[in-house]
Every structure is written in C-alpha cells, then in structure tokens.
Structure 1
Amino acid sequence: MTPSSAQPASPPLHHNWAYRRVALPIFALLRMGASPRKLAWSIAVGLLIGINPVLGSTTVVCLAAAFVLRLNVAASQLANHAVYPLQLLLLIPFIRFGDVIFHTAPMPFTAKALIHAARHNPIALTRQLWTWEWHALVLWFALAVVFVPIIALSITPFLRRLLVRIEHHQYPLIHPPHVSLHRADS
C-alpha cells in the first residue's frame, strides 16, 4: 500500500458526559459478567432510592439495599448518583403531596415563616418538620414499591439486547485523543 492510497486517519472518538459516566460503566459491568436481569434490578433500585426525600441518605441506603437484596453495588450506586438532581427537584413535590395525602398543614417554604416559627416555638417546628419528612418518605416508599419492578422489567430486555451487541463488539470504547483507530503510515 502506498502512502497516497492510505486511508486518512479517523478522528479520535469523543463521547458526551452521559456516555462516558453512565453507558460505559454499564457496558463494563455487562462485559464482566453481570446478568442483564440483576443489572436491571440494581439500576431500578438505585434510581428509586436516589430520589428519596431524605437528603444525605441515598448512598448508605442504596449500599444497604444492594447488600440485602444481593444486587450489583456498582450499578445501584451509579443509578443512585445519576439521579441526584432529581432528588433535589422532587423534594418539595414529595412534601407537598404528603401534606395533601395525610391532611397536614402545608409546609411554609418562605424563609420568613420558617425563621418566625423557629424563634417562637422551635420544638413544635422540629416536630412538624419530622411529620412533613415522614409523610414524604411514606409517599416515596409507596411509589418505589410500584415503580422498581416496572423499571426493572422494562429495562431488562434492553440490557439483554445490549449484552448481545457488546459480545459482538458493536460498541466502541473511548480511545485516548492521541491514539487514532487507523494509522495512515501502515
């Protein structure tokens, strides 16, 4: 092959954040032998634990659930951390719906109202905060019991197809920028 007939070098592959941080770890878990079914249940549990309304609890709760249910810890933690922004977005709706379902006084979300309550009756405010949080947690748990199986059963076929494609090497790995797939001088 002469240098003039050589194929031009392919540009290095660059993938977005979601592909590098979510898809590639899932590909790696499938390559290492994780079953699609177990991986699907691990992801579903991680997703739902990741949106629970108790801020700061998801990593430990997800780790405990993965051990108790014998799930893939890496997959459940990956899903848990991927939905962290959703946990923040859903906190207020969980509290609001908990107020409606349990017929409690709505939580005042203005700083002025919370500071006033904290200054005048901090013990009552603490009890009320625990009540709101407890109701939000019960609501989340009811939703989790319903949605974990739905999510797991819906992504299992996708992960099975993905495993077949991975076994046939149809998904590329990310190559370092300095390494090209085809060399022009070969």
Structure 2
Amino acid sequence: MDFKFRIFGESSNHGFTYRKDNLPSLNELDMMNAIMTAATGDLTLPGMAKTAFELRDPTASDVGKAAGMVGNMVFAELIQLNIMNLAKKSGGHGWVGLWTWEHNIIMKDQHRFTKVTLGGDNPGLDFMRKIKPTLEAAGMSNLGVLNAIGMALSKYDEWIGDGQPPSYSIQIKKG
C-alpha cells in the first residue's frame, strides 16, 4: 500500500538541515533484494537491468516491475556511494543515524533508530545492511524512501567539508 512520508535530515554540528514533505512511497517495489544484489553484482546499467529481470516476481508479467528494480538498485548505489564518500572525507570517522516514525491515531506511535558508524572496509554496504531491518519493520523499504535517503545524503555530502567527521541524523515520518 502506497503512503506519503516526510524526510528530515539534520547535523547540528555542521549547521545543516534538509526537509522534503509529502513524498510518495512507491511501495509496490521490493528494494531489499535489489540492494544486496547491487552491492555484489554488475553495476552497469545493462547488468542491473538483467538482474532486475532475474529478481522480478515470476508470476508478474509487468515489465514496469523490472524497471522499478533497476530504480531500486540505482538508488541503493547512490546511498552507498554517498556513505563511502562521507567515510572517505572523514578518514572513516563519524556516523549517520536513521529514525523511522510511524504516526498512528489509534495506537502508540512507532519509533525505530539505527546509528551506523562510518568505519570498516565497505561502509556503504554496512550502512545498507544495518538500516534494512529498521526500514522493513516500519514498512518503508521501497523506492520512494530509498530515493529520499539518497537525496538527503547527497545534499549533506555536498555541504560537509573534507576532514569533518559526519554526524547526521535522518528522520522518516510516515502517516
């Protein structure tokens, strides 16, 4: 089921904020298979298209779903590249946190948080692996959310200077 959401990114240490409201989730697309495949597969456009067709639901005849998988892989790669760049700029120090917030009128709001330090051999892939359960538990593992996270990271990456350890919190609110 599609939903609208808001993304808000903030780094009080660097005086940076980013906000976009009323974004579409594009929820019918599965991103997690695409993420793990993109991390280890052929990242050329023809390679991603081939993988998307292999991963699509065998009962679905809609070519649009396969195209959506390519979109998922492109946005997953954008996130990974931005995380890698932030880690490189800071010498592997710093962190990026991801909050998910589901507003519920009847029951208590649901909040989830994942904080990822930017060290290790592949911080981009580590980031994707660590945010996966947070996004899935919130029902936010979809193309629209991936795109928004990628854009929020990209804008922060443009803002922050070299040698400054990132300290960036991204909040996604659904509902």
Same fold (TM over 0.5): no
TM-score by length of 1: 0.29
TM-score by length of 2: 0.30
Larger radius of gyration: 1
Instruction: Select the structure with the greater relative contact order (CA < 8 A; seq sep ≥ 6).
Output: 1
Q: Which has the higher helix share?
A: 1
